[in-house]
Amino acid sequence: MGDEWRYIPFTEAVEVNPKISLTRGAVYPFVDMKAVDPSRRGVTESGFREFKGGGTRFLPFDTLMARITPCLENGKIARYEPSPGITGPAFGSTEFIIIRGKEGVTDNDYAYYLTQWDKFRHFAISQMTGSSGRQRVPADSLSKFMAPVPTLPEQRAIAYILGTLDNKIELNRKMNQTLEAMAQAIFKSWFVDFDPVIDNTLKAGKPIPDSLAKRAAKRKQVLEKVRQNNYPPLPKEIADLFPDEFEDSEIGPIPEGWGAGPFTKIATLTTKTVRPGECPDRFWEHYSIPAFDEGCHPKWERGDTIKSGKYQVLPSCVLASKLNPQFPRVWMPDVADPTVAICSTEFMPFVPVHEQWRPFLYELLKSPTIQEEICSRATGSTGSRQRVKPKDIAIMSVILPPPKVITAFCTIVGGLHKKLLANQRNSFLLARIRDTLLPRLLSGEIEIEATEAFVGRDN
């Protein structure tokens, strides 16, 4: 540790709930607690609201830390990063504590990473007061935590190293958003809007069902642009897989020769129960609801820490949450060893009837139409205790394209999924490196040279 490092009370090292003036009746960006994603460094505005005098107030790149249980335990801490073009102050949930670097004492980015230190978060949790289920951290109790304060150049170097890792993780996340959007767009085009069938039908001069008339008019415009600009059309070998006519079905007009039937024609539910507690020294790859919400990374846990039975997760399966389906969770596990891969019994592990159909199964379960259908089948009390019954999903009517169409889709989209999973693996590795480095850098166990190559010229 450098000679100039010192430890001072957290509330002297940073600004806690700094004063910011807002005009009552004016509209400002607003950040809701549920907008904070523990797997992301930043949080953008949830929307815009009229300021009526309540809520926490903050500036761009201030740190928002949940003070209430279980949000703090779940890691709801993030920097406020407004959308492009949005500047100035904002406000948010009353359940935030706002933290900012103190001029001349702490760098603002360093202040954020202080809040990411497990040692600090565990201390904050230990300070909670109040009745069970509604406990909160008193802001003034943070003064009891002695924060490490190296020189400003060293702080900037530490924040630079950790920030570089977070930047790459964020880049991977954005790339995966694009890949997800591309995959879902292809699914919607082929199996919801039936664009290739409409195109073939228009070319053949055959009638279009009334319910698809608006889509057909749009496709005419698209086909005209393709003709005028010589855009590459859908490859002939793909276009020829689709018919040039529609027929009626129980779910409305569908392409001729296709079908509609129960979900079991696409996938089956596999619920082989595993009891990790019977192998207490073994490490298990646990796909849980919290792990999904914290970034779609399973947690490795010893068997003796897992008290209840779990389901086995096979490499080809797709996990769909049956709990609180107002916010459906669909997870494509990246399983390397199925003998140690397990999931919460609040997931439904679906295995495609043909292993290579996994991309179709995943995109089908993620499609808004199917998610709305799943939500409509929820039973139980309102809120987080509602569930769907797997047997209700099994009889749910879905589109049944010919196998050759599904196979073509899986060939194209499967490539996108491979890139997506590779990015997830990379982000998981980077996050582990960051989480390993962070406590060692903040404690001074690892010393770094605060050179201009890291932090630029210190003004």
Are 275 and 293 contained in the same domain? yes
Q: Indicate whether 287 pLDDT > 50.
A: yes
Query: Of 368, 383, 400, at which residue does a domain stop?
Result: 400
pLDDT, greater one: 381 or 371:
371
pLDDT category of residue 345 using cuts at 50, 70 and 90: very high
* pLDDT tens digits, 122-163: 999 999 999 877 899 999 999 999 999 999 999 999 999 999
Element (H, E) at 271: none
Reported as a pLDDT band with limits 50, 70 and 90, residue 400 is very high
In a 3-state reduction of DSSP, which class is residue 449? coil
Output the pLDDT for position 8: 97
Q: At what angle do helices 213-229 and 195-204 cross, to 10 degrees?
A: 80
Domain identity same for 20 and 142: yes
Q: At residue 189, does pLDDT exceed 70?
A: yes
**The pLDDT of residue 453:** 54
The rounded distance, in Å, linking the Cα atoms of 119 and 124 is 9
No. of H helices and E strands in the chain? 13, 24
Residues 312 and 350 in one domain: yes
| Residue 180 forms part of a structural domain | no
Q: Among the three residues 400, 418, 448, which one is the final residue of a domain in this structure?
A: 400
pLDDT band at 387 (very low <50, low <70, confident <90, very high): confident
> Per the domain annotation, does 17 fall within a domain?
yes
Whether 459 shows a pLDDT value over 50: the answer reads: no
Model confidence over 35-47: pLDDT tens digits?
999 889 999 999 9
pLDDT over 90 for what percent of the chain?
79
Q: In this predicted structure, what is the pLDDT of residue 383?
A: 57
Read off the pLDDT band of 418 (50, 70, 90).
very high
Mapped onto helix, strand or coil, the DSSP state of residue 26 is coil
For residues 50 and 29, state if they share a domain: yes
Q: Is the residue at 179 inside a domain? A: no
In a domain, 185, yes or no: no
Alpha helices of 107-212 — where are they, by DSSP H?
108-116, 118-126, 152-191, 195-204
Q: Tell me which of 255 and 295 has the higher pLDDT.
A: 255
Confidence of residue 344 (pLDDT cuts 50, 70, 90): very high
**Full domain range(s) for residue 285:** 267-400
- Residue 16 CA to its chain's centroid (Å): 29
Confidence of residue 224 (pLDDT cuts 50, 70, 90): confident
CA 215/CA 21 separation, integer angstroms: 50
Q: Do 77 and 22 share a structural domain?
A: yes
If you average pLDDT over residues 202-206, what whole number do you get?
93
User: Do 162 and 97 fall within a single domain?
Assistant: no
98 and 221, same domain (yes or no): no
What are the structure tokens assigned to 90, written together?
């904002």
Q: Provide the domain count of the chain.
A: 3
> Is 319 in the same domain as 287?
yes
What is the reported pLDDT for 451? Answer: 55
For residue 3, pLDDT over 60 is answered with no
pLDDT bucket at 363, cuts 50 / 70 / 90: very high
Name the percent of the chain lying above pLDDT 70.
95
Strands 77-80 and 42-43: parallel
Whether the pLDDT of residue 458 is over 50: the answer is no
Q: Does any domain span residue 256?
A: no
Is residue 204 very low, low, confident or very high in pLDDT (cuts 50, 70, 90)?
very high
> 259 in a domain, yes or no?
no
Confidence of residue 325 (pLDDT cuts 50, 70, 90): low
Domain boundary among 355, 371, 400: 400
- Statement to judge: residues 422 and 395 lie in one domain: no
Q: Which of 272, 14, 35 is nearest to 146 (CA)?
A: 14
Q: Is residue 183 part of a domain?
A: no
Give me the chain's average pLDDT, please. Answer: 92
Please tell me whether residues 416 and 389 are part of one structural domain: no
Q: Please give the pLDDT value at position 4.
A: 74
CB 351 within 8 A of CB 315: no
| pLDDT of 190 strictly over 90 | yes
More confident residue, 326 or 433: 433
Which pLDDT value is given to residue 452?
A: 54
CATH value at residue 27: 3.90.220.20
Q: Is the pLDDT of residue 385 over 90?
A: no
Q: Do 206 and 290 have their domain in common?
A: no
Query: How large is the average pLDDT for residues 282-305?
Result: 90
Instruction: Give the per-residue pLDDT at 343.
Output: 95
Whether 235 and 197 share a structural domain: yes
What region does 75 belong to: left with phi over 0, alpha with psi -120 to 50, or beta? left
Helices 358-366, 368-376: crossing angle, 10 deg rounding: 60
Per-residue pLDDT at 231: 73
Confidence of residue 326 (pLDDT cuts 50, 70, 90): low
Q: Which of 87-96, 259-268, 293-302 has the lowest mean pLDDT?
A: 293-302
pLDDT band at 284; cut points 50, 70, 90:
very high
260 lies in a domain? no
